[in-house]
Amino acid sequence: MISVIIPTLNAAARLSLCLEALVAPAVDGLVKEVIIVDGGSKDETIKIADGFGAKILTAPPGRGGQLAIGAAAAKGGWLLFLHADTVLDDGWASAATIHMRDHENAAGVFTLAFDAKTAPARFVSAGAMIRTRIFKLPYGDQGLLVSRKFYDAVGGYQSMPLFEDVDIVRRIVKQGGRRAMRVLDAVATTSAERYEKLGYAACVFRNVSLIIRYHAGADPEKLAAAYR
């Protein structure tokens, strides 16, 4: 069964949608538990999570550390890491079940889509999938499904101010090769708010610049400050 781990910080706007996609698989017995690791929300995040029956933990803000704390508390044999503004489509449980049956030593991510149905949004999501399939470099808003055994083998999430998703994916591929990163046959729709606010071209340019600096060994704290 799956433990779903969701880091939150003032995530009330879309958390209900994220959690609603987990209800039916929980009723069917696929989802064992949903763990919310909150970094100090001041909005209705905790109330919403409690209303869905999620287990609520608290941690210092920082997605990497929050994910690590959630994983440490999880009881499922499989771990699904989700962002609070990501909504899985109706087919996700079937896709996850197929992955879990045959790929204990591989991680699965979902096909990225944005909730803004515009040409720039489709272009950026298509680019993200090219990056995922060719370079084996998905980001956290695509979710990450991995067995507890393989998660522990690669060392899990690290407490990092930014690029905790890139860090763990690099270790997954290093541990298991390119076949250890699979794209599941289901869609994860994430919020386009940041892109809509800053502009798609500006966001893409910033993200590419930051990832280049990260691979060049730049200070993660400085990268996180630039990202914010």
* Measured CA distances, 64 to 54, 83, 95, 158 (Å): 20, 12, 26, 5
d(Cα 13, Cα 10) in Å, to the nearest integer? 8
For residue 195, give both structure tokens.
């892109």
Encode pLDDT of 85-122 as tens digits.
999 999 999 999 999 999 999 999 999 999 998 999 99
DSSP string, the chain: -EEEEEEESS-HHHHHHHHHHHHHHHHTTSEEEEEEEES---SSHHHHHHHTT-EEEE--S-HHHHHHHHHHH--SSEEEE--TTEEE-TTHHHHHHHHHHH-TTSEEEEEEEESS-SHHHHHHHHHHHHHHHHH----GGG-EEEEHHHHHHHT-----SS-HHHHHHHHHHHHH-GGGEEEEEEEEEE--HHHHHH-HHHHHHHHHHHHHHHHTT--HHHHHHHH-
pLDDT at position 167 is: 95
Residue 225, sorted as left (phi over 0), alpha (psi -120 to 50) or beta, turns out to be alpha
Residue range 146-167, pLDDT digits in tens = 999 999 999 999 998 899 999 9
pLDDT given for residue 222 in this prediction? 87
- Residue ranges in the chain modelled with pLDDT below 70: none
pTM above 0.85, yes or no: yes
Q: What's the confidence (pLDDT) of residue 8?
A: 98
**Rounded Cα gap, residues 79 and 144, in angstroms:** 8
The domains located in the chain, with CATH, are 2-192 (3.90.550.10)
